[in-house]
Structure formats: C-alpha cells, structure tokens
C-alpha cells in the first residue's frame, strides 16, 4: 500500500518493525531460557514424568472437547431454528440469551459454588463444562444467527420442497454451508475452554481433577517454588496451542475477524 516512501521514513519503518518483533519475541525467549535453567532439558522430562502434568492435560482435553461439541451443536441448532425455521422467539428473548456474552464467569461465583456444592459435583468435569457451555453459547448463537441470516432463504425452501425434513436439511444443507462460521465457533470456544482458569479454580480442587491452567499454581503449592519447572510447564502448555496457531494461522486470524465483526 505504501509503496513509495522517502528514504528516511523507510528507515524509520524498518526500525519499528524490528522493534515490534523484538517486543514480541524477547519475552517468549526469556521464558524458554528460564525453563532450561539448572537441569536443562531434564526440567521438561521431570515435569512430564514426575508430576500429574499428563493427567491435567487430559482433563483439559476432556473439558474443552465436550464444551466445543455442545456449544457448536446447540448454538448452530438455535441459529437454524431462529433464522431458517423462524421459531416464534421474540427479539427481546433473543437479546436476553445473547446478552450472556459479556458476562464474566466471576459474576456467577455465588450461584455456581452453592449449586455445585449441593449437587456434590466438586471435582467433576461437568461442574466446569456446564457453566462454560452456558457462557459460550451466546457468542456462538450471535455469530451463527448473523451468518445464517446472510444465506438466501430459497436454498432452505428448495430443500423443503424436495421433501427433506428439518434434521436432514440442518445436517446436509445448512452445516456444510455454515462451515466457515462453525470453524469460528470451534476455534473461539476451544481457546476459551482450554485457557479458562476461574471455573477450575472455583470448582476443581482435587489435583486428579485439575486442568492445565492450574499447573503453575500446583507447582507453587506442592513443592517449594521450583522456577525452572514452572517455566518448563508453561512452555509445554503453550506449545500445542502455538503449533496449532502456526499451522492454521490464516484461518484463525480470519476467524477472529469474523467473530468480532459479525
């Protein structure tokens, strides 16, 4: 876009680009360096074998995968019902459901804590999955609804005239058409669930039930703070996410744009 720049502004731009790169990379490099302090790579093998790290990883995976499956299905089904089947569900009610998207989970501390306690569900993955789903569905519904509203109604009518039932249309026609927005919902929901810290802190107390974001605090409580291992654990937690991002970076950035604007 700015193809013609004076020499001076070219130099300034170049310096700024290098500076920006350093600001991003140096802190990440520092964490990597700290994780190798003392025992070197042994810090990593010890985190993997000497701690319940893999258990935490698995718990995170269970919670995130369930949340993604539920949120994507429930939100897309609701969007389909509202937009294409024109469910008699008023505008105010729709906003009341979607309004959940700005609510911090912390605002539900009292009801969640009391309910989970009464149901005896502490340390069950369900205790985290259900509220996570409830707080993630509004976003999925908002973007799903806006996306489906952009698909011509004739496609739906045509499938109907061919005698297809609503379930068939949803699975065979709507879902393939909505693939881009489904990808957005999957990415957003997965990141939100994988990175969630508050709900596990509140509801998962036994270390066999805890998740990956609780690993650093686990280290601080179980033994004297063993800094290199905390950093090694942080690197191990972040690597899968960074790897997925680097592979799918274009789609993920495009997804975030679609998620913000629609």
Partner 1 sequence: MPVTETRREHETAAPARARPAGRARTTWPRHRARAAALLWVLPAVILVAGVVHVGIAYNAAVGTTEWNGISPTRLPVGFDNYVAMARDDVFLAALRNTAVYGVAIIVLQLSLGLGLAVLVRTQTRGRHLLRVLVFVPVVLSPAIIATSARHVLDHDGALNAALDAIGLGSLAQPWLANPTTALATLVAITVWQYTGYSFVIYDAAIAQVDEATLEAAQIDGAGNARMFTAVILPSLRGSHLVLIVLTAINALKTFDLVILTTGGGPGMSTEMLTLHVYEQTIVRFHAGYGAALSMVLVIIALVFAVLQVRLSHVREA
Q: From the CB of 1, what's the least distance to partner 1, in Å? A: 4
**Shortest reach from residue 95's CB to partner 1, in Å:** 6
Nearer to partner 1, 175 or 198 (CB): 198
Are 148 and 174 in contact by the 8 Å Cβ rule? The answer is yes
Which CA distances in Å does 172 have to 146, 149, 151?
Answer: 20, 18, 15
Task: Kindly state the DSSP code that residue 52 receives in the 8-state scheme.
Answer: T
CB of 150 to partner 1, least distance (A): 5
**Closest listed residue to residue 210, CA positions, set 123, 130, 126:** 123
Least spacing, CB of residue 102 vs partner 1, in Å: 4
Nearer to partner 1, 93 or 208 (CB): 93
CA distance 197 to 212: 9
> DSSP letters of 142-190?
HHHHHHHHTS-HHHHHHHHHTT--HHHIIIIIIHHHTHHHHHHHHHHHH
Please state, in angstroms and rounded to a whole number, the distance separating the CA atoms of residues 247 and 252: 9
Minimum CB separation of residue 203 from partner 1 in Å reads: 11
Closest approach of partner 1 to the CB of residue 57, in Å: 13
Instruction: Report the distance separating Cα 49 and Cα 29, nearest Å.
Output: 24
d(CA 257, CA 254): 5
Ramachandran angles phi, psi of 120, nearest 5° = 65, 35
Question: Which C-beta is closer to partner 1: that of 125 or that of 138?
Answer: 138
Q: Which of 41/89 has CB closer to partner 1?
A: 89
Compare residues 55 and 98 and give the one whose CB is closer to partner 1. 98
Question: Is 209 or 237 the residue whose CB approaches partner 1 more closely?
Answer: 237
Q: Decide whether 183 or 227 has the Cβ nearer to partner 1.
A: 227
Nearest distance from C-beta of residue 184 to partner 1, angstroms? 13
Q: How far is CA 261 from CA 106, 140, 141, 192, 254, in A?
A: 26, 13, 14, 18, 11
Q: Alpha-carbon distance 17 to 172, whole Å?
A: 47
């Amino acid at each position: 876009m700015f193809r013609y720049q004076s020499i001076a502004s070219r130099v300034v731009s170049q310096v700024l680009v290098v500076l920006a790169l350093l600001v991003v990379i140096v802190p990440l490099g520092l964490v990597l360096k700290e994780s190798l302090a003392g025992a070197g790579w042994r810090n990593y093998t010890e985190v993997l074998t000497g701690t319940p790290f893999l258990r935490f990883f698995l718990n995170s995976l269970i919670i995130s995968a369930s949340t993604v499956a539920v949120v994507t299905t429930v939100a897309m089904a609701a969007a389909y019902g509202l937009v294409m089947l024109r469910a008699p569900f008023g505008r105010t009610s729709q906003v009341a459901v979607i309004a959940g998207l700005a609510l911090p989970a912390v605002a539900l501390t009292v009801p969640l804590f009391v309910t989970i306690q009464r149901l005896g569900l502490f340390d069950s993955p369900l205790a985290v999955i259900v509220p996570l789903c409830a707080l993630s569905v509004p976003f999925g519904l908002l973007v799903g609804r806006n996306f489906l509203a952009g698909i011509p109604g004739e496609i739906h009518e045509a499938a109907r005239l061919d005698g297809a039932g609503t379930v068939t249309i949803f699975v065979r026609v709507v879902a393939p058409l909505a693939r881009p927005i489904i990808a957005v919902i999957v990415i957003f929901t997965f990141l939100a669930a994988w990175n969630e810290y508050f709900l596990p802190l509140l509801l998962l107390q036994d270390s066999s039930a805890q998740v990956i974001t609780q690993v650093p605090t686990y280290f601080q409580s179980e033994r004297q703070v063993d800094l290199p291992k905390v950093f090694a654990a942080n690197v191990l937690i972040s690597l899968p996410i960074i790897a997925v991002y680097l592979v799918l970076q274009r789609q993920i950035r495009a997804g975030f744009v679609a998620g913000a604007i629609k």
